[in-house]
Copies of this chain bind each other. A is one copy, B any other.
Amino acid sequence: MKRFFGLLLLFIFTNVAYSQELLDLMPMPQKVERKEGKLYLDSNFRLSINGNPDVRLYKATTRFLRRLDEQTIVWFKQDQITSTVTDARAILNIEVSRPAKVVLKEDESYSIAISGGKIKVKATTDLGAMYALETLLQLVQADEKGFYFPNIEITDAPRFPWRGLMIDVVRHFIPYEVIIRNIDAMAAVKMNVLHLHLTDDQGFRIESKSFPKLHEKGSNGKYLTQEQIKDIINYASDRGIRVVPEFDMPGHASSWFPGYPEYASAQRIYEIETKYSHFEPAPTMDPTNENLYPFLDQFFKEMTALFPDEYIHIGGDENSGKQWDANPKIQEYKQRHNLKSNTELQTQFNHRLQDILSRYKKKMMGWDEILEPGISKDIMIHSWRGKKSLNEAAKKGYPVILSHGFYIDLLHSAQDYYLNDPLSESKDLAANELSNIYGGEAAMWTELATAETIDSRIWPSAAAIAERLWSAQEIRDVRDMYRRLDKLNNKLEFLGIAHKKNYEVMLKRLANGTDIVALKTLVDVVEPMKGLSRRKQGITYYTYTPLMMAADAARPDSKVAREFSYLIDDFVATSASHLADSIKRQYQIWIANHENLKNTMRLAPATRELEPVSENLKRLSEIGSGLVSYLQKKSKGKLKEKEKISETQLKEYGAFFKEAAKPRANVEFVVLIKATEKLLDLVQKDN
């Protein structure tokens, strides 16, 4: 990794004419140099491949041709690519030294040079070449003459070798086709690990041929078949993406026991959980049952044959130990073996798991908790508890990746995830310790996400994380990130990501067939409750609770709210009158929207819970609009004495902001409140 830190970030425009032509690359390459000139696309566009790539590159270049043709509609004559062939007519020449292996730390570097009507791509492996193709698709521009590639030189390679996305396919089942389209999106932002969280209390979501009762009794009939898993692995591998499966144990294990209650730590009849917590003593494997190990051996024999990656994730997190405490035989075992705590018992269990996995030539990976004294250095630690544990693992010589701060299901802003640098608290680490930090994973848990909404929770946030893990550490201009993210976000739709299209469908469902304009105006600016707060209101969410409410439709990082907030920032900084007018226009829209939304509510009962939200947005807008008018008049010296806002009034505003910031109907619009507060601050300073 270290060698990439040394690469200087260059972004040189050799000609001012191109300053209008904003390149929308994401993740930002290590080195980009714009040259004079353009390469226009026409139907004669062809490509050829030289060197010695894996066959995956033929498929990838064929897909590239189709995607480029679909975007530009110039009707390329070239059909499928099926071999390396020197073709003098080729506009794009790709040269690859050797076939890649889709494994950790494979060479992913590439270079692109466009000039003189030709494009040259060079890469050590086909993985690098595929990343070059993604960069090329992002480079396409249009002017009055048509679509073109800018003449350019790019040199690129990732900062971290592990750039992952974890999808929890358990809590709500995430079907095959949703995973497939997310792989396409991952490839577009150069992510390279898909981590599937396959088993948990609410379901066993993978077919087992050795133990069919696992998926048959451990799911509601919704699971990934082995054929689907194979397809997913091949599809991912074709895009340079590894697939790491997770089988969470010894806790988070309820779904093992409807089929195999004999391996639980308490003997009773088990069903899969339909709630997400409050089922203590939580069903946990009994590590003192000697029969468990041949069972797991057989299970892992099957699964390690299915998954080619060198890592198997065994979870290992959040074992409350309550079933162990309640079982006298387990207590007796601990005494007999001088195990002082449940942690020591779990570590012993992990040792035995590791023995099983190494028999099948696999390395063990697990959440923070598995890092206990005596566990071999061969394992990969997955840090969910924070950078302290990340750094500890690295210092102790364990390879480790970060997910703390990358929990995208918590619905924080892309900015928050973007600025979460894995090495931000690693100043004290030596170079060899730093090199133990392999990267990170965006983690998408699905207690409150479904196949319909998951894309809108993963994207575009995961792209910000992808850039954090690929690009240079110094690339952290948030407004520029959002500019590029918005462009990418549109393109993700063309890959099939349903984050935008499902949004409108959900609004239509809520609006009960009536016009959605007013509803959309409101839901466009609200965000679902963040963190774990939505589930901590005393209402129980079941796996079958309908997640089709406004809070489910709303996106975690409102673009309208953000842009409005930037507008206010600019106004506060400049006092420009045209900005004040724009701000007031927007406030007026929200004020007027309240009456329109009431019409929707009359005919669409499921929208009625939004009334107080809309009411508060209206009130906020009235206050904000008044504050802007005040500031405008003030700056023009036209403020009359009677128009001054009293201290009492200002305090009332402040109190309202505080009240309005509380979530209602599981949504909030804190970004707008914070923006409006800046106006209030300005007026208060003035007074």
Interface of A with B (CB < 8 Å)? 66, 69-73, 75, 79-80, 142, 144, 146-147, 175-177, 220, 225, 227, 274, 487, 490-491, 493-494, 498, 500-502, 504-505, 508-510, 512-513, 542, 544-546, 548-549, 602-606
Contact = CB atoms under 8 A, between A and B. Distances in A.
Contacts of A498: 501
B142 A70 contact: no
Given A146-B605, A604-B142, A605-B142, A494 B501 contact: no
Given A177-B177, A606-B73, A501 B509 contact: no
B490 A501 contact: no
Given A544-B66, A605-B147, A512 B142 contact: yes
Contacts of A509: 70-71, 493-494
A70 B548 contact: yes
Given A227-B227, A604-B142, A508 B487 contact: no
Contacts of A513: 487, 490-491
A186 to B, nearest CB: 19
Copies in the complex: 2
Nearest to A146: B605
Quick one: which of A75, A80, A504, A545 has the most chain B CB within 10 A?
A75
A486 to B, nearest CB: 9
Given A71-B512, A490-B508, 6 more contacts: A73-B606, A142-B512, A142-B605, A177-B177, A493-B509, A501-B505
A606 B97 CA distance: 37
A80 B606 contact: no
A678 to B, nearest CB: 29
Contacts of A493: 505, 508-509
A72 B512 CA distance: 9
Contacts of A548: 70-71, 73
Nearest to A487: B513
Contacts of A491: 513
Contacts of A502: 501
Given A80-B220, A544-B66, A494 B505 contact: yes
Nearest to A606: B73
Contact of A70 (B79, B146, B274, B546): B546
A544 B64 CA distance: 12
A546 B490 contact: no
8 contacts: A75-B545, A144-B602, A147-B605, A177-B177, A227-B227, A493-B505, A493-B508, A501-B505
The 6 A-B pairs at the shortest CB distance, nearest first, are namely A501-B501, A177-B177, A70-B546, A73-B606, A70-B548, A69-B546
A521 to B, nearest CB: 16
A171 to B, nearest CB: 15
A239 B549 CA distance: 27
Contact of A73 (B144, B494, B549): B549
Nearest to A452: B496
Contacts of A508: 490, 493-494
Contact of A606 (B72, B144, B220, B512): B72
A604 B545 CA distance: 43
Quick one: which of A73, A504, A512 has the most chain B CB within 10 A?
A73
A377 B508 CA distance: 50
B274 A142 contact: no
Nearest to A486: B513
A288 to B, nearest CB: 34
Contacts of A146: 605
B505 A504 contact: no
Nearest to A41: B605
Contacts of A79: 274, 542, 544
A605 B500 CA distance: 24
A72 B605 contact: yes
A35 B548 CA distance: 32
